[in-house]
Structure 1
Amino acid sequence: MYEERAALLDGAVLWTVTARPAARPPRPVLPDGCMDLIWADGHLLVAGPDTRAHVPGESAARYAGLRFAPGDAPAVLGVPARELRDRRIALDDLWGAAEARRLAERITAAPDPARALDALVRRRAADTEPPDPLMRAVAARLAAGRTVADTAEAVGLGARQLHRRSLDAFGYGPKTLARILRLRRALALVLAGVPQAEAAVRAGCADQAHLARETRALAGMTVGDYTASVSANSETPDPSGSRTTA
């Protein structure tokens, strides 16, 4: 029901979803600093960056989406990520109703809506300023477990500059992004069979209790509840998932 593949747009991922059986609970989508452009049964919407896990309330039979690399979407969409934090909005609100409707019709008519989204975004990206290259470096360093202070020094930004540019690129400051990426590392290890205590330390948490607190704070559930939800939706290969409707 959920599939991912590489996009031609640098760093992006294409995903598709078909309606799940009613008896199967939706899988929570962990925050990740990313934004998505989504086609849902003929309509286009944008999923902003989340600060907590999002539980899809699916209302369409088919979805296709393009998940931008962290920090890349604002340049293409024309809006700072902080303005879309924890929001799902119609593309009409960003590009106008007539343009959004025209694009939605084109994607709906395509044999592969996900690839059509990819082509649309690449055309738009060619006519806009490129994403902030420093923010790619920031996301990569934080994803690798580097501290915020080390990251700021490495990219040559002061603390205030880094915070301001992170809000525009990711929707939240670097400390929040670091917490989110650390949680994703830890839960990916747990899903791979690493014991929770070991996964916590390897991911950068102080201990297992720290991981438990962060999972409740950012995912809204226990580690055990999260892994159980993944088992119930085992076709999804990693802790990403789709950002469908609010």
Structure 2
Amino acid sequence: MGGVYEERPSRLDGAAVWTRTGTGGPVRSFSVLPDGCMDLLWSEGRLYVAGPDTRAYVPENPGARYAGVRFAPGDAPALLGVPAHELRDARVELAALWPGDRVRRLAERVGDAADQAAALEDLALLRAADAPRPDPRLRAVVAGLNAGRTVAATAQAVGLGARQLHRRSLDAFGYGPKTLARVLRLQRALALVRAGVPYARAAAEAGCTDQAHLAREMRALGGTTLSAYAASVASAKSETPQPSGSSTTA
């Protein structure tokens, strides 16, 4: 089994709070697919950050207990104080970004709490209160790309030149706007697949050229096939709810 996953909206705008716990039985590995987001995580007494992914990530210890705050795309760098591209495809100890003594105290506070996810959310809310507000133009970039607009049309709509948009995207999302568009398009397609929509229709509605295009993107970004993903979703539904950006594989 991949464990029990639960998620709820956060009090932090655009974020989600989630937990994953073991089931006490055999644990099946699972992979987390790119979703344009970054997470603040607590697990086994440690605080760390999941950077923006461009490929599927397989946790080293799938049976561990996890608590996380998943930030909206582009929001985490200002809160954490580090450009997203420095954390791309990485899991980094929070102590590498913030003073070690402070992180140890925070990790102990979260670990001692009755609800680690709620304590982690409180930490994020306190940090966000002193951090710069999310850039509305970058949120508009996410909204435009997620609506299927081209990068050029999105840049024009938010009043940014191509080079400026690319530079800001690296800092906010960890990669350029074309990659963000691909990640968001894949997530749109997979949401339809999880809802039982046939692959060809899911591809068309998400903005792919055809089913073969979606299959290639699934391989490139998710490291698996559409049929394997659909099978993992069906298996997971019989066990526990799953995160929007993950799949469980044997």
- Same fold by TM-score greater than 0.5: yes
Contact 2:30/2:62, CA 8 A, preserved across alignment: no
Q: Which residue of 2 aligns with 1:177?
A: 180
1:183-222 residue pairs with structure 2 within 5 A?
183-222=186-225
**Is structure 2 residue 249 aligned with structure 1 residue 240?**
no
1:97-246 residue pairs with structure 2 within 5 A?
97-234=100-237, 235-241=240-246
Post-superposition offset of 1:137: 1.0
Unaligned runs of 5+ in 2: none
Post-superposition offset of 1:160: 0.4
What letter corresponds to residue 90 of structure 1 in structure 2?
A: E
Contact 2:51/2:88, CA 8 A, preserved across alignment: yes
Post-superposition offset of 1:141: 1.4
Aligned residues: 242
What letter corresponds to residue 244 of structure 2 in structure 1?
A: P
Q: Which residue of 2 aligns with 1:78?
A: 81
**Is structure 2 residue 47 aligned with structure 1 residue 32?**
no
What letter corresponds to residue 199 of structure 2 in structure 1?
A: Q
Identical positions, percent: 64
TM-score normalized by the length of structure 1: 0.93
Contact 2:51/2:91, CA 8 A, preserved across alignment: yes
C-alpha separation in 1, matches of 2:220 and 2:246: 19
What letter corresponds to residue 6 of structure 1 in structure 2?
A: P
Unaligned runs of 5+ in 1: none
Give the stretch that moved more between structures: 25-34 or 117-126: 25-34
What letter corresponds to residue 193 of structure 2 in structure 1?
A: V
What do you get for the CA RMSD once the two structures are aligned?
1.6
Q: Which residue of 2 aligns with 1:44?
A: 47
Aligned with 2:204: secondary structure? helix
Aligned with 2:7: secondary structure? strand
C-alpha separation in 2, matches of 1:37 and 1:219: 21
Post-superposition offset of 1:97: 1.4
Contact 2:5/2:243, CA 8 A, preserved across alignment: no
Give the stretch that moved more between structures: 84-93 or 61-70: 61-70
Counterpart pick for 2:92 among 89, 93, 96: 89
**Is structure 2 residue 9 aligned with structure 1 residue 6?**
yes
C-alpha separation in 2, matches of 1:11 and 1:21: 32
TM-score normalized by the length of structure 2: 0.92
C-alpha separation in 1, matches of 2:156 and 2:88: 26
Contact 2:6/2:241, CA 8 A, preserved across alignment: yes
Contact 1:82/1:171, CA 8 A, preserved across alignment: yes
Task: Flag the 1:34–1:177 CA change in 2: closer, same or farther, 3 A.
Answer: same
What letter corresponds to residue 7 of structure 2 in structure 1?
A: E
